[in-house]
Each structure stands twice: as C-alpha cells, then as structure tokens.
Amino acid sequence: SQQGEEDPQALSIQEGENATMNCSYKTSINNLQWYRQNSGRGLVHLILIRSNEREKHSGRLRVTLDTSKKSSSLLITASRAADTASYFCATAAFYGNNRLAFGKGNQVVVIP
Amino acid sequence: NAGVTQTPKFQVLKTGQSMTLQCAQDMNHNSMYWYRQDPGMGLRLIYYSASEGTTDKGEVPNGYNVSRLNKREFSLRLESAAPSQTSVYFCASSDTLSNQPQHFGDGTRLSIL
C-alpha cells in the first residue's frame, strides 16, 4: 500500500517564522491530505489536494503537490504557539473507499 | 454536534483478557475506520467498513475483529489481548464520496500488561 513519508521529522521554530514540511509517496494517488494532531487528541483534517491540483491555500496554510515527483509540501506561514502539534500527510488511492495511508508525522514546536 | 465519539478513553488490560472498543458517529457517514497509532509508526489501518453491513481488513488486522452494528456504530474487539496491542486506537468516519476527509475521535489509550 502507498504510504506518505514526511521530512523532516521534528521542527522547532520561533513564533512568526514559517514552517515547511515535506511528504513523499510511492504510487498513484487520488488525493493527498494533511492532518494536525495536538498532544493527546485525535487528528484534525487541515486540507485536501486532489491529484489534478498543484497548489491549494487555506488561511495560513499552503499545500503544493507535484505528482511527477510524488511529493507534497505543507507551509504554515507566520506560525503561532498554537500551531505546536504533529502534522501528518495521508494519501488516498483511486477506488480505495477513501482509505488513507499515513506517514509517520512531523512534530512542530513553535516557541513563543 | 459530537462528531466521532470513542469509549473508553483509557483502559488497562491483562494479557489474555478481551475487550471491545466502541465508536459512534453522528455525521451520517457511510464509511468508518479503525486505526492504531504507535510511537514513530504513524497511523495504521486495522479494519474499515465502507458501508453498513460490510467490513474489510486493513494493513494490520491480526488479533482484532470488528462489527458494524448500524450506520452510526463500529466496534473493535480484542479477543485475547497481547502486550503488542498496547497502543492508541483511533476511530474515524467519512462520506463515501471521493475526495472526502476523515473525521477522527480522540482515541482510546490501551495498555496491556
């Protein structure tokens, strides 16, 4: 099964800086999704980008998708302490009943 | 609107004991999923149910059984718990339509001694 792999694994930044995370995958996808997980909580959906899209924005989030390189990036601009969390990418295959294959996650710490 | 509700939130079992983890969603979603999350491993799919009355194995189904009780509820059962099943278990649901996000509960933290 396909699986997202994030890079880097851990990131520590100052409040106000931008944070960038990357994700690579191995097979063709229908869409790629990014989720956030705060400590001790479930995953929260952030943004979904379809395989025919190259870039998508949602508030301070910017996601890019390069299907030729099988990679995606998540940019969080003007980070806040509340952005401290783990971020996961997940891929959905065509005809996969919306099943997701998750990467191992990036831990982001935003220092006030 | 509660979303996805999981019970219990915490549980400690002894090896060999059985237990059922409960999950309910109030979003009228057709599809439901069970994952486990281990440190450094991300989330791995145990079982999923594409619609009421159907269930299918995911990536790591051994040692587990599931029941899709009705459209709202999807339970996960450990028949004979093993220490290797110590993990955080998440239930999720989604619409069946393509390109839909999954909605997660807050998890059940399960320790098996």
pLDDT tens for residues A23-39?
999 989 999 999 999 99
Give the separation between CA A66 and CA A51, rounded to whole angstroms: 9
Higher pLDDT, B61 or A4: B61
Give the separation between CA A105 and CA A108, rounded to whole angstroms: 10
Instruction: Write the residue in A30, A45, A105 that is nearest to B102 by C-beta.
Output: A45
pLDDT at A52: 95
pLDDT higher than threshold 50 for residue B45: yes
Q: How far is B47 from chain A (nearest CA, A)?
A: 10
pLDDT higher than threshold 50 for residue B88: yes
pLDDT at A7: 58
Q: In Å, how far are A3, A49, B79 from B13, measured between CA atoms?
A: 31, 40, 12
Instruction: Write the residue in B40, B100, B104 that is nearest to A98 by C-beta.
Output: B100
pLDDT average, residue stretch B30-40: 93
pLDDT at A108: 95
pLDDT in tens, B64-81: 999 998 999 999 999 999
Nearest CA in chain A to B37: A104
Give the separation between CA B28 and CA A104, rounded to whole angstroms: 29
Contact check, Cβ <8 Å, B100/A97:
no
CB contact, 8 Å: A69 with chain B?
Answer: no
Nearest CA in chain B to A43: B104
Instruction: Assign 3-state DSSP to chain B and report helix, strand, coil percentages, each to 5.
Output: 5, 50, 45
Which residue positions in chain A have pLDDT lower than 70? 1-8, 96
Q: If contacts are CB pairs under 8 Å, which of residues 87-106 in chain A contact chain B? A: 88, 90, 92, 97-105
